Structure 1
Amino acid sequence: MISGKTRQIETRIGKLAVHEHGSGEGTIVFWPALYTDHRIYAGQVAAFAERYRLLVIDPPGHGDSPVPDDLVSMPDCAQAVIDILDAYGETSVHWVGTSWGGIIGGHLGTAHPERFKSLLLANTPFDHGDPKALRGAKFVVGLAKLFGGSAFFGKGVGRSFFPDLKALDKAKLAVFLSGIARQSRKSLTTAGRSVLIARDSLLPLLPSVKVRTMVVAGEMDKLYPPEELRAAAALIPGAEFHITKGTGHLSAFEAPGAFNALLGEWLDRPALG
């Protein structure tokens, strides 16, 4: 990844590490998926740092961000993003969120539309509350509590994230597993409970999103398949929907070329209003 500057920014959910790259007239802010860190956006940093200022956030307890004392709500995570924008003197930016980051993007698009030129919500779990999904979430959190960042737990998560873990590029697999390995049991369980169990459904908020929005699904995402994301995108006024071929739950990480093509064309368009 292109070298950059890292700052610990004080927010309402505690300190968050923000990795700054590049410069330009516009700014893109990134938030990754649960159990991943800023490194999943290496392909985007390489592609866009010459044209834009990039602020890549490590979620609470992930990457270089400290573990929070308790659960974090999705609205509070959104408010923490506003704290970060204020700390960097940013008034209006582009948002790119994967999964957890997509959830936060939905909240930002309703609570703070004036701060965002566009939202790209990738591989995002918009709905919540299905009994089978909740049972699965509780099982994952239970495994995190038992096994922590072990290879056993990491590969289990990987099998749910990627279409074929054995076929995944070895360097990408190493990045993914190392991101989980560096997390503590408390980090893994607290984040898992916050994102997988305690959050509310985004669906009721989507018709109120007032920011130009693109929803991106992974063709082979076993967790949140394209048909679910397509239905959610239809609730967002004027939203576009795209599928990245052959990808699972981390489209930006698995297929940076295809993802960057979508993102680049998206950024070149004018904002709403």
Structure 2
Amino acid sequence: MPQAQLADVSIHYQLDGDEKNPVLVMSNSLGTTIDMWAPQVAALSQHFRLLRYDTRGHGQSQVTPGPYSIPQLGGDVIGLLDCLGIQKAHFCGLSMGGITGMWLASAHPERINRLVLANTAALIGPPENWTTRVDKVRQEGMASIASAVVSRWLTPEYAEKHPEQVAYLENMLKATPAEGYAANCIAVRDADYREAVKKITAPTLVIAGAGDLPTPPSEGRYLAEAIPGAKYVEFAGAHLTNQQEPERFSNAVIEFLQT
């Protein structure tokens, strides 16, 4: 799989779709990989040059010494775009990927066309919860948190009917390097973009999930109100709406980006 060697990190990425189409960058959530977007690839790659990547410390990207910061993770996106000769792109990020998108759109507006912020928040707290999680994975490994964390990614009713999907997501989380995960937890813990998002000028779509506990709809509504002209849509799912409602998610993204 392709690797982009940036200044201090090797980033794993995957391109799909016609190279003549507009580029859409997809940024994964904490503890997942580019494979979290598998349900969207077929639909989105018909309309866009899809650029998925593993956030630093995840999947096949390099685990560099932590802690990390959101500007550092956003800088990786800028570096990846530069490496691939892409001047400007649409950006879709979920949860931690969404926070990366907030930084990109506020700090580097010249690189972002349209922005999709899914199941995310300008501040995800409380900070002590993140510190506790960091300590746990460092001491006990990723398997110690997998079941509890993934239980918040899908609604209980949906998870009960799709045990194979739950197992798939748990395995993805368990395979995430503990140190990479911990370093990214600190990046999320220390991120506060409640003021910065007010400066975003890119047309923005905010997607929330009615059953999302980590980033509830109230956080999505805050983003939609704080970002000038942002649109808001609420799905029935939990934290990974793209996994629970893949077709609706893909259609919402396509419709918004082609407006």
Structure 1: which amino acid aligns with 2:147? K
Structure 1: which amino acid aligns with 2:87? T
233-242 or 138-147, which moves further after superposition? 138-147
Q: Distance in 1 between matches of 2:68 and 2:8?
A: 7
Q: Distance in 1 between matches of 2:147 and 2:226?
A: 34
Q: How does 1:96-245 map to 2 (within 5 A)?
A: 96-128=92-124, 133-150=126-143, 152-164=144-156, 166-167=159-160, 169-195=162-188, 197=189, 199-245=190-236
Alpha carbons of structure 1 residues 166 and 26: separation in structure 2 relative to 1, 3 Å? closer
Aligned length: 257
Alignment check: 8 A CA contact 2:66 2:180 kept: no
Residue 168 of structure 1 deviates from its aligned partner by 5.5
Aligned to 1:257: 247
Q: Distance in 2 between matches of 1:79 and 1:249?
A: 25
Q: Distance in 1 between matches of 2:251 and 2:47?
A: 14
Q: Distance in 2 between matches of 1:201 and 1:12?
A: 26
Q: Distance in 2 between matches of 1:144 and 1:43?
A: 28
Over aligned residue pairs, what C-alpha RMSD do you find? Answer: 1.7
Structure 2: runs of 5 or more not aligned: none
Structure 2: which amino acid aligns with 1:188? Y
The reply to whether residue 9 of structure 1 matches residue 14 of structure 2 is no
Structure 1: which amino acid aligns with 2:222? A
Structure 2: which amino acid aligns with 1:224? T
Residue 161 of structure 1 deviates from its aligned partner by 2.5
Alpha carbons of structure 1 residues 228 and 50: separation in structure 2 relative to 1, 3 Å? closer
Identity, in percent, stands at: 27
Q: 1:22-56, CA deviations, whole angstroms, 9 ceiling, x for partnerless residues?
A: 21421110011001111110111111223321110
Residue 143 of structure 1 deviates from its aligned partner by 2.1
Alignment check: 8 A CA contact 1:39 1:175 kept: no
Alignment check: 8 A CA contact 1:8 1:15 kept: yes
Structure 1: runs of 5 or more not aligned: 1-5
- Give structure 1 regions of 4+ aligned residues with deviation exceeding 4 angstroms: none
